[in-house]
Structure 1
Amino acid sequence: MAARSRWAYSRPMPSRVKAADVAGHFYPAQPDELAGMLERCLAPGPDPGIVPKAVVAPHAGYVYSGAVAGAAYRALAKRRGEIKRVLLFGPAHRMAFKGLAVLRVDAWLTPLGALATDMELLERALALPEVSAVDQPFLGEHSLEVHLPFIRQALGPVSVLPILVGGAAPETVAKTLEALWGGPDTAIVISSDLSHFLDYAAAGKRDAATSQAIERAEGDGLGGHDACGYVGIRGLLAHAKARDLRITALDVRNSGDTAGDKARVVGYGSYAFEYAHAARLKDRDRVALGVLARDSIRQGLDAGQPALPAIEPLPCTLRAQRNSFVTIAIDGKLRGCIGSLRPTRPLALDVCENAFRAAFADPRFPKLSPAEAERLSVSVSILSHPRPIAAASEDELVDRLRPDIDGLILGDGKRQALFLPSVWEGLPDARQFTRHLRHKAGFEPTAWPQGLKAWRFETESFAAA
């Protein structure tokens, strides 16, 4: 816990307006200088085509982490005008307390103008048992304040509800998010830096592992040594699977890459969370994946192994941890289909491996021949997080399925099988759909085995160029 600042704690808290305590320290206090710095941080860069509901962004001084935070706010800025309020969570650095804290003020000052407190969100938050209104923890606290100028510049004069996370479990943040999630007019920001005070190489390894866990929505192992705001991150990750959010690391660096030395660095990462059902790769990325899939099959014919590209030059959307299926067909007839049930590697590598295996390792078919390769069509499917379906019988499962939308996984812990949503084209009847999948898994098609469980997922699917 950082030592208390006498400068911050010696002044009384304004009764209705929260002052900008760290202006002039973490970011410029002069409006023109601050606006210019934010313009540089938010300057247009490669557009990944992501429109997020939520982001994770760092909270160090702008000279260190401003460019990384800018990647998150550039993505949110696409929704300027649609977003009316921002729910902001940040870890407490200056004072220990239990639970979550909010501040009863009318507005939060920034050198660029005030942001009004969202009073509706405030009252709804205070109705939760884990949330209390206390002043002292906010004095001199930077984890929330450094985001306010970014919000003002990127989104305009929206309302905000900053929430300080004290001694709380990730489940507490998850419950608070559940109550305050809102619709398209509400954006969510989780404030966190990554590793602290490792050397450059060690920080790079740890932050890469943290980023993989975040993109896979597998945050249970994250702790304070990985990210100071790990409680907020894990609270948001709980919703990533339940609400089917696709997560992408937009920018991951450390202070050794920006304005510090490399002996003792702090890691920074920006991550975007978008609804999987609405997520769509840019056309250029779809084309790139199609080329990679076909190159991998050609390499298989020539050398007996997949073609695996260098990852670093690829856009963040193709570096992200994703699971995919690759389907190959000849004259409209299935010739192979192989995929991954969970994300374990970058999307580009997953597609390359699965394209190779679909052509040469699908046990239902012989290895692809050079003559067949000339007539091959290839399609790629990117899977969302599987979500459980509460069904204790075939009738219940059939009632809950959404034809043409849902992919389906059935299993009992020993046997498991999957149908992509594209299978609905040949099996439009939901009952027959489930029975064919049970047969594929090795079950009696008309029986409902004891312990059988079902999961639904969606896909972004496209033909490879």
Structure 2
Amino acid sequence: GATCARRPAGGGAPDAPAVAAADATSGGADAGVESAAPPPGPAGRLFGLIAPHAGYMYSGAVAGHAWKLLAGHGAAPAAESTTGPETVFPAQVAGGFYPADPAELRALVERYLADAAPPIAPAVGPVGTVIVMAPSHHYPLAGAAVLADDAYETPLGRVRVDTALRRRLVELAGLDLVVDSSYFQREHALEVQLPFLQVALPEARVLPLIVGDTANGAGDRLGAVLATLCSERPDLVIVASSDMSHFYSYDEAVAFDEENLRALETRDLAAFERTGQGRSGMCGYDPVRTALVALRAAAGAGARVVRLRYANSGDVTGERDRVVGYGALALLTVEAAPAADVAAPEPPVAATGTAAEGPETGAARAAPAAAGEATMFTREERQTLLDIAKAAVRAAVRGESYRPPEPAAEALRAPGAAFVTLRKHGDLRGCIGHVVATLPLYRCVAEVAEAAATQDYRFDPVTPQELEQLTFEISVLTPPEVVTDPTTIRVGRDGLIVSRGRNRGLLLPQVPEEQGWNREQFLDGTCRKAGLPAGCWRDPETRLERFQAVVWGENLEDVLS
């Protein structure tokens, strides 16, 4: 059966280790698009940063523009013991994403900071602890994970974890957070920020967080918790780690990245949720969105986001066919907004994973209210989406860039959530999708088809030799709704999502029919998919949601009866 899981985007050459050419990077990635001019009015106080996390030769200069705002503003937090750390988490990517030699690493970071010229100079500090949030590139995670160890080691030494702050975070975050260092293994997105912290704020501590899938309101809840922590501890600063678009041509990347930069600068969560996910968005979408929620909760109408620098890997390498974007932004709070802003209400905070996502106009046709309305997609529209899915997989497997052409059909341009299932000789070969309609349906299908072929952690990536042996199936989903009475679930119509704490599992509506399951077996199977025991759906702490889907395969006929 198609047992699918959402996976974070990311990876690839300009997002990968690149230490050998680090000597050539001074000013390289800084040669990109100029920063926006500082906004009028008060510069404000620094609340947080968004900084890229690729290999230093690619994104180090851009990251320097963010961390430059913190340089020299550190102060050790007072509420911690001065005894040595009990457990130390070792460096994971030293010698890959950044130099392993301490002297070389320090000199490189110092040069990035010295060369940076951010366009604003907000009030800062003293900063005692930096909350660094990064996405998970390797392990599925619902909610967030905080490092369980007492320090994180890099070639520059150990960065002490603020354990008092960790205890407070655990107290406030509840089931949205797990204390588990295993999620930090192999992860570069968090670790590459630490040498910048060690040079810019040598006495500061860190609270390392991996932020995974923040659907079902987890991102909103975690953002509110971070805002509370910052109100309790004025010595805190948040850093969200993220690159931008991945593997488009230079001009395409600049266009996609500009959409996301504008959404962030205007603090427009609804726009960012439409543009910020997938390959054309930000691989750190979840931590960035969580930081933006925290800023809005903390500052209200006084929230500001200022672009400090943008560039992409093509500015460093000269290769413009396939690039990765990098942005540095400052999150600010101001005491008083200009009069023109005071009257304008802030964009509403959309709860991820609910029907509030995206415009309603046209969405009903792209994601009908029930599987019985499958005929609302014409055969031509279904064929168009199949063709897009196949083209996306071919391009990804061959290492080529692909941007789907915008279709004429309004139903395919409307926001939609979809899964693409790949089979080889009838056996599952990959299946990944989005549960929430944040992208135009045709773009969603292209992105999840590529991910199903290359990022499904249960399988090796599809090879070019397998392309002719694959069959495709597309499932277009309705928005999930909470189930309070499991007896109302109907096999053959409903798909299920089971979540509890950091565990989350999804099964598409066609799975129980393929397996010959009844309702209770379907519920138990979804529990097992979430890594929970069968019967967990009876536990009041377990969240149960359902959705419907329009499903078709190569013959364009409805799969569900």
What's the TM-score once normalised by structure 2's chain length?
0.43
Name which one, 1 or 2, has greater alpha-carbon Rg: 1
Contact 1:193 1:266 in 2 (8 A): yes
Match of residue 174 from structure 1: 223
Rounded to whole Å, the distance in 2 between the matches of 1:110 and 1:157 is 15
Match of residue 142 from structure 1: 188
Percent identity between the two aligned chains: 35
Match of residue 73 from structure 2: 79
Change over 3 Å in CA distance of 1:113–1:271 after alignment to 2: same
Query: Deviations along 1:317-372, whole A, 9 cap, x unmatched?
Result: xxxxxxx66xxxxxxxxxxxxxx55xxxxxxxxxxxxxxxxxxxxxxxxxxxxxxx
Q: Please identify, of 80-89 and 202-211, the stretch whose mean Cα deviation from structure 2 is larger.
A: 80-89
State how 1:448-463 maps to structure 2 within 5 Å.
none
1:175 Cα shift? 3.1
2:256 aligned residue (206, 227, 235):
206
Query: Deviations along 1:368-426, whole A, 9 cap, x unmatched?
Result: xxxxxxxxxxxxxxx697579xxxxxxxxxxxxxxxxxxxxxxxxxxxxxxxxxxxxxx
Q: Confirm or deny that 1:240 pairs with 2:290.
A: no
Q: Confirm or deny that 1:223 pairs with 2:270.
A: no
1:192 aligned residue (242, 245, 264):
242
Change over 3 Å in CA distance of 1:120–1:25 after alignment to 2: same
Rounded to whole Å, the distance in 2 between the matches of 1:38 and 1:113 is 24
1:269 Cα shift? 0.5
State how 1:44-55 maps to structure 2 within 5 Å.
51-55=45-49
Query: Deviations along 1:207-250, whole A, 9 cap, x unmatched?
Result: 11111100000032332331111112222222333312211000
Change over 3 Å in CA distance of 1:50–1:61 after alignment to 2: farther
Contact 1:173 1:231 in 2 (8 A): no
Match of residue 290 from structure 1: none
User: Which amino acid in 2 is paired with 1:114?
Assistant: R
Q: Confirm or deny that 1:272 pairs with 2:266.
A: no
Could you tell me which runs of 5 or more consecutive residues in structure 2 were left unpaired when the two chains were aligned: 1-6, 76-125, 348-561
Contact 2:250 2:321 in 1 (8 A): yes
Match of residue 262 from structure 1: 320
User: Which amino acid in 2 is paired with 1:161?
Assistant: L
Alpha-carbon RMSD: 3.6
Contact 1:118 1:161 in 2 (8 A): yes
Could you tell me which runs of 5 or more consecutive residues in structure 1 were left unpaired when the two chains were aligned: 6-23, 280-323, 326-339, 342-382, 389-465
What's the TM-score once normalised by structure 1's chain length?
0.51
1:159 aligned residue (205, 212, 231):
205
Contact 1:41 1:70 in 2 (8 A): no
State how 1:59-74 maps to structure 2 within 5 Å.
59-74=53-68
1:102 Cα shift? 1.3
1:99 Cα shift? 1.5
User: Which amino acid in 2 is paired with 1:190?
Assistant: A
Change over 3 Å in CA distance of 1:39–1:87 after alignment to 2: farther
Contact 2:44 2:334 in 1 (8 A): no
1:202 Cα shift? 0.4
Higher relative contact order (CA 8 A, sep 6+): 2
